[in-house]
Amino acid sequence: MATVLAIETSCDETAAAIVKNREVLSNTVASQIAAHQQYGGVVPEVASREHLETINYVVASALEQAGLDWSDIDGIAATVAPGLVGALLVGLSAAKTLAIVHGKPFLGIHHLEGHIAASYLTDPDLQPPFLCLLVSGGHTSMIAVGDGGSYETLGQTRDDAAGEAFDKVARLLNLGYPGGPAIDKIAKQGNGNAFALPEGKISLPGGGYHPYDCSFSGLKTAVLRLVQKLEAETGAVPVSDIAASFQETVARTLTKRTIACAKDLGLNTIVVGGGVAANSSLRQHLQQAASQSSRRVIFPPLKFCTDNAAMIACAAAEHFNRGETSPLNLSVYSRMDICQIPLLYHH
């Protein structure tokens, strides 16, 4: 029964949390959205400096919220990959220092494993095998989760991540940053079938299309062309109809591939992770398609979908309970495939 304190600083949230196996004892997040909003996106150097300023407060508040002190903590974890290197280094240095000072084991965690573990916080009885659709600002993957924490990526985007596509389309519709929530909101007033937009299919060399991979950059360009055409022809841009049509296309694309993958692999449980899991259209499409094929879908609550440290602590507790800890000379990695996770632990 491991009690783990984890730190997450891979992008623009400074977060710390304490989890006892799959039970959240505290969860603190300091969002940097306000600091990046004026630039229309995350500025890596600004992110690192903001993390440095808030990290100590966030860790202290995680302990205070849980009503625990260091003697109650079994291990200290930090996200080490993938992410912004400068940002990751702040969390890693803090976690290593705390591990050394308090004499606790250290665990380096892969960010995507954290997003997958968010589903354990939602359903503590959940056990592999299951399929995870991971849709965030930086990632769009379909990952088969097997026994003992084995992961296999079966499908992914070939270019923009789903969240990135939402952010870029929101920018070109002048909806601000972050784009996902803004598009989701305005799309409610629009017609999702107003405009036919292309579903980014990936051609296979021998003919046909890849069943699980997708592409969002063509869709983003199609929205740009549509906006330019409507502006030139009518002088007006029906923002809510375009936002709704774009959102519908993303939701349909992801749902089709996820259900096909779950069917092919014979997996009856689908979990969704990452910030885009908050999207109302994706939730509706996936829920409906899953129930039509007698499958269960788990959507974690929003606070566990967007970046948080509770999911990192939960992933760390799984490793700790298997007797795995990381060497103190572990570094950070801006990119790392999820199948390389075993490299983060002692052998």
Q: Where do contacts with Zn ion occur on this chain (CB under 5 A)? A: 136, 307
Task: Please compute, for residue 97, the number of CA atoms within 13 A of its CA located in the half-sphere on the CB side.
Answer: 10
Number of amino acids touching ligand KG4 (CB under 6 A): 19
Measured between alpha carbons, how far is 90 from 46 in angstroms, rounded to an integer?
Answer: 12
Give CA separation, 214 vs 12, 92, 154, 338, in Å: 26, 33, 11, 19
Rank residues 185 and 229 by Cβ distance to ligand KG4 and give the closer one.
185
Region of 134-142, 198-206, 231-239, 337-345 interacting with ligand KG4 (CB under 6 A): 134-142
Region of 15-23, 60-68, 196-204, 272-280 interacting with ligand KG4 (CB under 6 A): 272-280
Cα dihedral 54, 59, 64, 65, rounded to 10, equals 90
Measured between alpha carbons, how far is 107 from 109 in angstroms, rounded to an integer?
Answer: 6
Among 245, 306, 325, 326, which residue interacts with ligand KG4 (rule: CB under 6 A)? 306
108 scored as a contact of ligand KG4 (CB under 6 A):
no
Rank residues 5 and 254 by Cβ distance to ligand KG4 and give the closer one.
254
Beta carbons of 200 and 222 less than 8 angstroms apart: no
x-or-dash string of contact with ligand KG4, 144-163, rule CB under 6 A:
-------------------x
82 scored as a contact of ligand KG4 (CB under 6 A):
no
What is the residue whose two structure tokens read 């449980």? Answer: 269
138 scored as a contact of ligand KG4 (CB under 6 A):
yes
| Gyration radius of the chain's alpha carbons | 20
Beta-carbon contacts of residue 52 (< 8 Å; ≥ 6 apart)? 90
Residue 179 binding target from ligand KG4, Zn ion, none, CB below 5 to 8 Å by type: ligand KG4
By beta-carbon distance, which residue lies closest to ligand KG4? 180
Region of 24-32, 136-144, 289-297, 323-331 interacting with ligand KG4 (CB under 6 A): 136-144
Give CA separation, 337 vs 151, 195, 204, 291, in Å: 10, 36, 23, 31
Taking each continuous run of H as one helix and of E as one strand, the counts in the chain are 11, 10
Residue type, 270: I
Strand partners, 270: 131, 297
Name the 3-class secondary structure at 298.
strand
Return phi, psi of residue 126, to 5°. Answer: -60, 135
Rank residues 248 and 307 by Cβ distance to ligand KG4 and give the closer one.
307
Among 178, 190, 200, 300, which residue interacts with ligand KG4 (rule: CB under 6 A)? 178
Among 95, 186, 276, 344, which residue interacts with ligand KG4 (rule: CB under 6 A)? 276
88 scored as a contact of ligand KG4 (CB under 6 A):
no
Among 75, 108, 179, 190, which residue interacts with ligand KG4 (rule: CB under 6 A)? 179
Among 50, 113, 160, 167, which residue interacts with ligand KG4 (rule: CB under 6 A)? 167
Sites of contact with ligand KG4 (CB under 6 A): 11, 136-138, 163, 166-167, 178-181, 184, 274-276, 278-279, 306-307
